[in-house]
Amino acid sequence: MNSKRKATINNDIVKQAAIDAFKKLNPRTMAKNPVMFVVEIGFFVTVLLAFLPGLFGEGESAGYNAVVSIILFITILFANFAEALAEGRGKAQANSLKKTKQDTKAKLVQKDGTIKLVNSTDLRKGDIVLVEANELIPSDGEIIEGVAAVDESAITGESAPVIKESGGDFSSVTGGTRVISDSIKIRITTDPGESFLDRMISLVEGAKRQKTPNEIALNTLLVSLTLIFLIVCTTLVPISAYVDAQIPIATLIALLVCLIPTTIGGLLSAIGIAGMDRVTQFNVIAMSGKAVEAAGDINTIILDKTGTITHGNRMASVFTPVNKVSKDDLHRVALHTSLHDETPEGRSIIELAKKLGVPQQEFSLEGSEGIEFKAETRMSGTNFADGREVRKGAVDAIKQYVVEKGGSIPGDLDMRAKEIATEGGTPLAVAEGNRVLGLIYLKDTVKPGMRERFDELRKMGIKTVMCTGDNPLTAATIAREAGVDDFIAEAKPEDKIAVIKKEQSQGKLVAMTGDGTNDAPALAQADVGLAMNSGTIAAKEAANMVDLDSDPTKIIEVVAIGKQLLMTRGALTTFSIANDVAKYFAIIPAMFMLAIPEMKALNIMNLATPESAILSALIFNAIIIPMLIPLAMKGVKYIPMSATKLLNRNLFIYGVGGVIAPFIGIKIIDVLLVLCNLT
């Protein structure tokens, strides 16, 4: 995965995150994270006990209580720092977007046709503005008149200009981009503060980030575990009284903090924010964290053929002569039909003629006039000064053209044309005067590497379905070359919705890419809808993700990032819960060793003293959070594999590692505390 935009963590972001970590100590903010809120309550209690050690009974040590409160405070700060650091990267990206958003002047077209210069902030939905070369587009809108090259690098990072024109799927323009040629009239489609750029800034800053269903479920689990351990710790008070063992309140709080899943509780928000941030690094704006998470559970991807799987431009691949016409004659005439044709098809015919060795002098435009393609004639060509006329076009149109000129139709023309159509190509007939010379095989070629990418999706357990308006023969050929699992030919908008609903009725999550107004209903129906920034306003409004680079294949990266987010959350949850096992063996024996000597058998780490054991576990519990911040931010590396293998891998690496790491870490801290005489 190659990112065009790298979100880096610099000193400014770290400094601001450190400041924000203190700001987040506000109890109203902390209450949003129940696990860490319990830790904060424990901190306030131990601080109180540090000043009033005998408040809840004798045997309390002011110094011990103070040390516990300091460690709890550091634990909370580390958790807040992790979240603030993740938010900081998003805010840094938002600031760069804000630089793009300028208060520009706009040429408002009045009802009488006159132009009035106004501020872009004064524009309202429905206003018509004129934007000329080298001027910024003042707000989001749709082109209603004209064609222009637009520099979208400020939004997409892509330096190549994009051709925008009225009508069709490329009429949408974004505020803050620049017209670099010609002039266009734009109908404004948003009010101030509602533009695409405004929404991008808001989303990147995380202001509207909502917890996803998976995150809510995990939060519920963490709260449940916290309540369970709270009850357990509370019941230890009467149990200890029964065996004449007095447990300090600070020790009970330390036990509670160590047993509840503070590691994942402190990192959960950071993981979610970092997941959205990673999507943004790929120039994809996710409208919610739910969309990113849903991408990780996708079972089926619906892809358009044109522009997604194929290049979208039919290219000349073969010249096929008919009726024993020489290849050289066909090559020469095919070239002549395209001398004035500036379309991708025409240029590809000229390129193929060059490759086939047509002499250089045949490429001269001197003494020739181009005949443009028209829907009525369905052909184009060239007229020469000497009266010679050459044409290329649809087979039936060329047949009619030749007959009208008194010519005859070669017997093998229809057979050759059918062969090309059967192979998924488009046949163009070539004629010189009243004689048909042959066919040009136009082929919409599959993009390089698509088969490999679909193989990768298959390893993830994701089904790929290609939708196209082509006939079944053409669709089958492209599907076979690309390596998709299924295809739908002659697809209409309602067909796309039908296949999405069918998959969803089977309990599957579906993703789709699209850019046209006709794709909007399907994008809205899909669980993950990725719209192209170059597409229509309707498509972008219907989708829950927008790709600023307008690369439909990027849905594959989005899926991988979604899976990476879920894997990271699962891995750190496994690690956090496994941690509690080791901390249990550190604290429980220490609490009862004096009253019940037999409990020493459980002190398998051979920790020096009860105080040392408790403080060592508490310190380890605090420092493990910042140690895991890089993993939470970067994410666990995703490797395509089955769910069973993935579970086994996570249990082995993060489950076993989560048990072993605390044993080693707590023992090292215990030794250091003893050496420094801190217990």
- Please state the residue numbers annotated as binding site: 341, 345, 373-380, 392, 515, 519
Is 335 within 8 Å of 362 (Cβ atoms)? yes
Q: Name 207's Cβ contacts closer than 8 Å, sequence gap at least 6.
A: none
Mapping DSSP to helix (H, G, I), strand (E, B) and coil, where does residue 289 land? helix
Q: How far apart are CA 575 and CA 656, in angstroms?
A: 8
Torsion of CA 90, 92, 97, 103, to 10 degrees: 130
Could you tell me which of 457, 34, 85, 504 has the C-alpha nearest to residue 270? 85
Torsion of CA 458, 460, 462, 464, to 10 degrees: -40
Strands of 105-109's sheet, edge to edge? 115-119, 105-109, 128-132, 183-188, 141-145, 172-173
- Structure tokens belonging to residue 222: 């963490």
Q: How far apart are CA 521 and CA 531, in angstroms?
A: 12
- Structure tokens belonging to residue 576: 């956090």
Is 344 within 8 Å of 356 (Cβ atoms)? no
Phi, psi of 592 (to 5 degrees): -115, 5
Residues in the chain: 679
- Structure tokens belonging to residue 226: 């916290």
**Cα-based distances in Å from 220 to 146, 227, 421, 615:** 55, 11, 58, 29
Q: How far apart are CA 485 and CA 309, in angstroms?
A: 13
Which residues sit opposite 321 in a β-bridge?
Answer: 438
Mapping DSSP to helix (H, G, I), strand (E, B) and coil, where does residue 238 land? helix
E strands of 356-491, at which residues?
Answer: 368-371, 379-384, 389-393, 426-432, 435-446, 463-467, 486-488
Residue with tokens 């970067």, as numbered in its chain? 634
Q: Binding site for ATP: what residues are annotated?
A: 341, 345, 373-380, 392
Q: How far apart are CA 679 and CA 63, in angstroms?
A: 10
Is 15 within 8 Å of 21 (Cβ atoms)? no
Q: How far apart are CA 564 and CA 288, in angstroms?
A: 17
Given 304, 444, 470, 580, which residue is catalytic?
Answer: 304
Share of the chain residues as helix, strand and coil, in percent rounded to the nearest 5: 55, 15, 30
Q: Binding site for Mg(2+): what residues are annotated?
A: 515, 519
Which residues sit opposite 188 in a β-bridge?
Answer: 141
Mapping DSSP to helix (H, G, I), strand (E, B) and coil, where does residue 138 land? coil
Q: Residue 538: which H helix or E strand, with range?
A: helix 537-542
Is 174 within 8 Å of 140 (Cβ atoms)? yes
Is 38 within 8 Å of 266 (Cβ atoms)? no
Q: How far apart are CA 318 and CA 443, in angstroms?
A: 9
Question: Is 122 a known active-site residue?
Answer: no
Q: Active-site residues: which are they?
A: 304
